[in-house]
Amino acid sequence: MNATQVNATQADINALLDAAAALQTALGNLADNGKTTQDDAGDIQQEQGRIAMLVERIGDYSANEFNQKTVQDATKSVKTAITVVAPAGGGVPTMAAIENACAAAEKALWNSIPAIANYGPPTQG
C-alpha cells in the first residue's frame, strides 16, 4: 500500500453509498416510468443489480481500509452517472448513454474496494 494514502472517513463512505443509492433510484425511475422498452427496462434493472452487488462489497470493509481519494473519485463518477440517467431537464437518455455512464460508475465503485485497489482485479485463470 502506498505510504502516502489518506484513509477514507465514514463520511466519505456514506457519501459514496448515498450517491450509489441515488443512482439506483434514478435507474429504477427510468425503468418504471413506461418510457423505455421492456428490453431496455431489463437492461436498466441489470445495471441496478451490478451497482447493488458493488455496494454490498463496499459494506464488507471498514472506512479506514479505503483510500480517501479513490472513494471521492468514485463518488464523483457515480454523481456524474446520475446526471446522465436523470437529466435535469427531464427526458429519457439513450440506452448507450445509460450503459456508458453506469459502466464508468461501476468501474469507479469496483476500483474503490480495498482488496481491488490493493491487489488488482481477479485474474481469469
Please, is 44 exposed, middle or buried when counting C-beta atoms within 10 Å of its C-beta (0-12, 13-18, 19+)? Answer: buried
Q: What is the CA radius of gyration of the chain?
A: 15
| 65-113 pLDDT, tens digit each | 999 999 999 999 999 999 999 998 888 899 999 999 999 999 999 999 9
Question: Nearest-CA neighbor of 106 among 30, 39, 24, 41?
Answer: 24
Amino acid 38: pLDDT: 87
48 and 27 in contact (C-beta within 8 Å)? yes
| 6-57 pLDDT, tens digit each | 999 999 999 999 999 999 999 998 888 777 888 898 999 999 999 999 999 9
Question: Nearest-CA neighbor of 115 among 36, 50, 61, 71?
Answer: 61
Query: What is the value of pTM for the model shown?
Result: 0.86
Amino acid 125: pLDDT: 43
